[in-house]
Amino acid sequence: MEIKYSLDDFPVQDPQEEEFSASDLTWVKYGSSEHHVDDAALIPYDRVEAFISGECLNAEHPTRFHIERGRKREKGSLKEYKSDEYLLYRLYWCSFGPENYGEGGTILPSRRYRLNTRNRAARPQSMRGCTCHFAVKRLYARPSLALIIYHERRHVNKSGFICHGPLDRDAIGPGAKKVPYICSEIQQQTMSLIYLGVPEENVLQTHIEGIQRYCGSNPTVNSIASQYVQKLGMIIKRSTHELDLDDQASIRMWVEKNKKSVFFYQDSSETDPFILGIQTEWQLQQMIRFCHQSILACDSSFGISKLKYPLYTLLAFDSRRHALPVAWVITRTITKQDVAKWMKALVDRIHGVDSAWRIDGFIIDDPALEMEPIREIFCCPILFSLWRVRRSWLRNVMKKCGHIEVQREIFKCLGKIMYSIWTKENPMDAMEELFQDFVDQTDFIQYFKAFWLPKIEMWLGTIKSIPLASQESCGAIEGYHVKLKLKVYDDSHLGALQRVDWLVHKLTTELHSGYWLDLYADESGSFPSVKEEYIYSTSWHRAMQISDDAVTFDDKVHLFAKVRSQKDSSQERIVWNPGSEFALCDCPWSIQGNLCKHIIKVNMVCQHKKEYLPSLSYLSFQDYMLDLWKTPMDDSLSLDLSMAWATQMQDKIQRLVELITSGDVTKVINKLPLKWAGRKGRTSSGKPAADKKLQIQKSTAKKKSRKRRRLSRFK
Judged by CB under 5 A, the residue of 67, 243, 596, 619 near Zn ion is: 596
- Residue 564 CB, shortest distance to Zn ion, in Å, is 12
Judged by CB under 5 A, the residue of 289, 506, 598, 687 near Zn ion is: 598
Residues in contact with 231: Cβ distance below 8 Å, sequence separation at least 6, in sequence order:
122
539 binds Zn ion (CB under 5 A): no
Nearest CA-CA partner of 192 in 499, 526, 493: 526
- Residue 401 CB, shortest distance to Zn ion, in Å, is 19
399, 451 Cβ separation under 8 angstroms: no
Helical spans, DSSP H, in 129-246: 184-195, 200-215, 219-238
**Sheet strands side by side (includes 382-384):** 262-266, 275-278, 323-331, 311-317, 295-302, 361-364, 382-384
Cis amide linkage into residue 98, ω under 30° from 0: yes
618 binds Zn ion (CB under 5 A): no
137-146 b/e with 16+ CB inside 10 Å = b?
Answer: bbbbeeeebb
Site for Zn ion in 123-142 (CB under 5 A): 130, 132
490-516 b/e with 16+ CB inside 10 Å = b?
Answer: eebeeebeebbbbbbbbbbbbbbbbbb
- Residue 686 CB, shortest distance to Zn ion, in Å, is 22
Pick between residue 170 and residue 623 the one whose CB is nearest to Zn ion: 170
Look up residue 448 and give its amino acid.
Answer: F
Look up residue 71 and give its amino acid.
Answer: R
Length of the chain: 715
183 binds Zn ion (CB under 5 A): no
Q: How many CB atoms neighbour CB 367 within 10 A?
A: 19
Site for Zn ion in 57-96 (CB under 5 A): 94, 96
**Sheet strands side by side (includes 560-564):** 551-553, 560-564, 572-576, 584-585
Look up residue 216 and give its amino acid.
Answer: G
Cis amide linkage into residue 614, ω under 30° from 0: no
Q: How many CB atoms neighbour CB 49 within 10 A?
A: 11
Scanning 7-15, 485-493, 576-584, 597-605 for contacts with Zn ion by CB under 5 A, the matching segment is 597-605
Q: How deeply is 689 buried, as exposed, middle or buried, from its count of CB atoms within 10 A (0-12, 13-18, 19+)?
A: exposed
- Residue 49 CB, shortest distance to Zn ion, in Å, is 19
How many residues at the interface with Zn ion, by CB under 5 A? 10
Residues in contact with 455: Cβ distance below 8 Å, sequence separation at least 6, in sequence order:
368
SS3 of residue 86 by DSSP: strand
Q: How deeply is 297 buried, as exposed, middle or buried, from its count of CB atoms within 10 A (0-12, 13-18, 19+)?
A: buried
Give the pairing type, strands 560-564 and 551-553: antiparallel
**DSSP code, position 158:** T
Pick between residue 186 and residue 371 the one whose CB is nearest to Zn ion: 186
Pick between residue 50 and residue 130 the one whose CB is nearest to Zn ion: 130
SS3 of residue 519 by DSSP: helix
Judged by CB under 5 A, the residue of 189, 537, 580, 590 near Zn ion is: 590
Site for Zn ion in 141-180 (CB under 5 A): 155
530 binds Zn ion (CB under 5 A): no
SS3 of residue 69 by DSSP: strand
Q: Bridge partners of 585? A: 575
604 binds Zn ion (CB under 5 A): no
585 binds Zn ion (CB under 5 A): yes
Residues in contact with 225: Cβ distance below 8 Å, sequence separation at least 6, in sequence order:
180, 204, 207, 208, 211
Helix-helix angle 219-238:200-215, to 10 degrees = 130
Pick between residue 390 and residue 598 the one whose CB is nearest to Zn ion: 598
What is the C-alpha to C-alpha distance for residues 509 and 57, in angstroms, rounded to an integer? 28
Q: Site residues (CB under 5 A) for Zn ion?
A: 94, 96, 130, 132, 155, 585, 587, 590, 596, 598
